[in-house]
Amino acid sequence: MATIEGGIAVAVKKINVGPRAKKDFENEVNLITNVRHRNLILQLGWCIHEPELLLVLEYMPRGSLDKFLWGEKKGTLNWKQRSDIILGIARGLVHLHSESHVKIIHRDIKSSNILLDENFQPKIADFGLARLYLEDQTHVSTRFAGTMGYTSPEYATRGHLSEKVDTYSFGIVALEVISGQSCSDVKYSGPRMEYLLEHAWQLYEKGIHNKLVDEAIDPNEYLEENVMNIIEIALMCTQLAALRPTMSEVYLMLSSEPKLEQRQMSKPTFIDANRRIYKVGR
In sequence order, the 6+-apart residues with CB closer than 8 A to the CB of 223 are 258
pLDDT at position 10: 80
pLDDT at position 44: 82
Contact between 102 and 132 under an 8 Å Cβ cutoff? The reply is: yes
Same domain flag for 144 and 123: yes
Same domain flag for 22 and 80: no
pTM for the complete prediction?
0.88
Q: How many domains does the chain have?
A: 2
pLDDT at position 280: 66
List per-residue pLDDT tens for the chain, 282 residues long. 566 666 677 887 776 656 666 666 676 677 777 788 999 998 887 777 777 777 788 899 999 999 999 999 999 999 999 999 999 999 999 999 999 878 889 999 999 999 999 999 999 998 866 776 545 444 444 556 678 889 998 888 888 889 999 999 999 999 999 999 999 888 755 556 688 999 999 999 999 999 999 999 999 999 999 999 999 999 999 999 999 999 999 999 999 877 656 677 888 887 766 666 666 655
CATH of the domain at 6: 3.30.200.20
In sequence order, the 6+-apart residues with CB closer than 8 A to the CB of 208 are none
**C-alpha 174 chain-centroid distance:** 7
- Distance between CA atoms of 80 and 269, rounded to whole angstroms? 29
27 φ/ψ angles, rounded to the nearest 5 degrees: -65, -45
Same domain flag for 275 and 137: yes
* Parent domain of 106: 63-279
Same domain flag for 10 and 111: no
Phi-psi region of 159 (alpha: psi -120 to 50; beta: other; left: phi over 0): left
CATH of the domain at 167: 1.10.510.10
Catalytic annotation, pick one of 24, 66, 84, 108: 108
Q: Cis (ω within 30 of 0) for the bond into 51?
A: yes
Assess whether 108 carries a catalytic annotation.
yes
User: E strands of 100-164, at which residues?
Assistant: 103-105, 114-116, 122-124, 131-133, 140-141, 160-161
